[in-house]
Amino acid sequence: MPNPNKGHLKTNLKRKENAERDPVGVAQDRCVRGERVADLLAGAATELGSVLAQAQADRIRVCAGNANHWVAEDLHRADTGECFNGNGTLYACGSRLCQSCVAKISSRSRRELRLAVAATKLFVGENWEFITLTMPTPVGLGLLETRAVLDRSWQLFRRRDWWLSRVRGHAKSEEFTFGRVGYHWHYHLLAASRYLNFQELRAEWTDCLRLAWLGAGLLLKCETDDGLAMVKVKRVKGRVLDEAVLEVCKYLTKSESWGAIPAADLVAVAEIPRWPRMFELAGCLREARAAAAAGAPAETEIAVESLILDTTEISDGAERETSGCDPPSVGKTSRRETWRDVALNSTRENWLIWLAGVVERTQAARRSALQAKYPAASFRDLTGQEW
């Protein structure tokens, strides 16, 4: 198989530039797509009798509403003073099904990754490599089950001596598409790396896939001439490096995918109590991000996590943590009531009243915060209401 190092890397720069020029059009598009997903989820929730999925659909619908989306002129950047137009939401549901919240999560990830890349000094012999790791589609597995197999493959791969001896740090995200026979999950990585032999990379990744599939009771079969999984590697720099950043930090899937997947999988996604990590920084990129965040102004909204991460161990297949969502915390005597608690323990009428109150308070606080941060800007929502 030929080495696709010179393959094409899809560019999202033009889309980003168009968004900056037309914030109203972007906001309107997110409203339409968000309403569509809310309708799909509400239908699936009714079909399967899921109270939590119905409540999640309510939250997404509020988030996608015209009154919740704002656009503004004469915003300014704190570091340069440059004025720009922008858009956003007042209330954020935080769901990975919500088109507005996914866009915000992607934007935050881009900000973190760009800071980390800028703060990382490559050693002699290192380059930035854009890597795609794919997995054959397991027939008959649901969305989350397929992801669990891929996640286990990654757990094995990232602790391999082959990987750790060559890659000093990386950023990783995941993406899926839905096809005729099932889900195609794959990873995108941007790595500070020494030379990666293409065939060795394929062999190491395929071996980890094989072990993960065996653990799930599956037999791995790669439809390639040599029986190895498909991967892609491209050396990036300059403008192409920023294209790679955009590719790593984009959406989990296209919004159209949610309309194609089975209702049971859509409900399963909506009911997840806490999403597993979709984007991660490791090694030197994680350290660079933490260092940059320590000296960054508050408005950059960079989340600083603990530097304790078990990516430096060499296990080559040793059993560690299992895939999936974070386990519920134990040992706490009390906790705040969540929207899930209210949805499960209230009538639908009381749930909607409670949600409306939360949204109203959140929107009012957000308006005040935006006006204080950008006193010279003019704001309005998509209904035309100025504030």
The pLDDT tens digits for 148-186 are 999 999 999 999 999 999 999 999 999 999 988 899 999
Pick the residue with more confidence: 275 or 31? 31
Phi, psi of 381, rounded to the nearest 5 degrees: -95, 180
Q: Measure the CA–CA gap between 178 and 153, rounded to whole angstroms.
A: 20
Q: Measure the CA–CA gap between 256 and 130, rounded to whole angstroms.
A: 26
Residue 295's pLDDT band, with cuts at 50, 70 and 90, is low
State mean pLDDT over 85-89: 92
Residue type, 77: R
Which range has the worst mean pLDDT, 102-116, 238-252, 277-291, 331-345?
Answer: 331-345
Q: What secondary structure does DSSP assign to 162-226, as a single string?
A: HHHTTEEEEEEEEEEEE-SSSEEEEEEEEEEES---HHHHHHHHHHHHHHHHHHTT------STT
Q: Measure the CA–CA gap between 117 and 136, rounded to whole angstroms.
A: 31
Q: Are strands 231-236 and 83-89 parallel, antiparallel or unpaired?
A: unpaired
Residue 319's pLDDT band, with cuts at 50, 70 and 90, is very low
Percent of the chain scoring above 70 in pLDDT? 84
For the chain, give the mean pLDDT: 86
* Cβ contact 134:183 at 8 Å: no
The winner for highest mean pLDDT among 13-17, 69-73, 327-331 is: 69-73
Q: Count Cα neighbours of 274 within 13 Å in the Cβ-side half-sphere.
A: 8
Partners of residue 282 on adjacent β-strands: 170
Q: Measure the CA–CA gap between 128 and 241, rounded to whole angstroms.
A: 8
Pick the residue with more confidence: 76 or 201? 201
The closest alpha carbon to 323, from 141, 148, 130, belongs to 148
* pTM across the whole model: 0.82
The pLDDT tens digits for 17-51 are 444 568 899 999 999 999 999 999 999 999 999 99
Q: Is 82 helix (H, G, I), strand (E, B) or coil?
A: coil
Residue 334's pLDDT band, with cuts at 50, 70 and 90, is low
